[in-house]
Amino acid sequence: MSNIKVDKLMTILKENGYKYTDKRKAIIDLLVKEDRYINAKYVSEKVGKEFPGLSFDTIYRNLSTYVELGILELTEINGERFFKLACSSDEHHHHHHICLKCGKAKNIHTEICNNLNIPELKGYRIDGHKFEIYGLCPNCIKDENK
């Protein structure tokens, strides 16, 4: 299944004018395998083992491109950007709890942000929103209490 997902994501890159490279594929492979929020430094450490000459700037630029193309989701924690594979387009809109320790995201299916009555936005059109909850997952809480 993960190879199919990687191939699909690489096709999105190609359809948007980006060349297929082993380095881009390695970044996608890592994101599919990890399936959690990770930062560019982590990507650099992991992919850099396979491609020692790959610069941090190149990795960061690719991650940003993947966000623009809708391949990745981005969140910012304490001023640092973290990236995760975007939820598939066939899933309905949802929100996330993001573990601050391991980066795992738990889907939250709630209507909390629908039909909000926000006086400051009277007359505005809302095209989207993002609602994230940050904390620790049960596994990280367990590890913390050991």
Q: How far apart are CA 122 and CA 79, in angstroms?
A: 31
> Is 42 within the bounds of a domain?
yes
CATH number at residue 75: 1.10.10.10
List, for residues 117-137, the tens digit of each pLDDT value.
778 888 888 777 777 888 999
Q: Is the pLDDT score of 141 beyond 80?
A: yes
Task: Centre a 10 Å sphere on the Cβ of residue 117 and count the other Cβ atoms it contains.
Answer: 6
Confidence of residue 16 (pLDDT cuts 50, 70, 90): very high
Strands 132-135 and 95-99: parallel
> Is 90 within the bounds of a domain?
no
Residues 22, 12, 46, 78: is their CA dihedral positive or negative?
positive
The residue-averaged pLDDT of 14-35 equals: 95
75/137 same-domain check: no
126: three-class secondary structure by DSSP: coil
The residue-averaged pLDDT of 20-28 equals: 95
77/126 same-domain check: no
Q: How far apart are CA 62 and CA 105, in angstroms?
A: 22
105/76 same-domain check: no
- Going by C-beta distance under 8 Å and a sequence separation of 6 or more, which residues neighbour residue 25? 6, 10
11/78 same-domain check: yes
Domain that residue 103 falls in: 95-144
74/10 same-domain check: yes
Q: How far apart are CA 138 and CA 17, in angstroms?
A: 42
Residue 18 DSSP symbol: P
Domain boundary among 85, 112, 129: 85
Percent of the chain with pLDDT over 70: 90
> Is 100 within the bounds of a domain?
yes
81/99 same-domain check: no
20/63 same-domain check: yes
Contact status, residue 62 vs residue 29, Cβ threshold 8 Å: no
> Is 106 within the bounds of a domain?
yes
19/58 same-domain check: yes
50/111 same-domain check: no
Number of domains in the chain: 2
Q: How far apart are CA 70 and CA 86, in angstroms?
A: 7
79/127 same-domain check: no
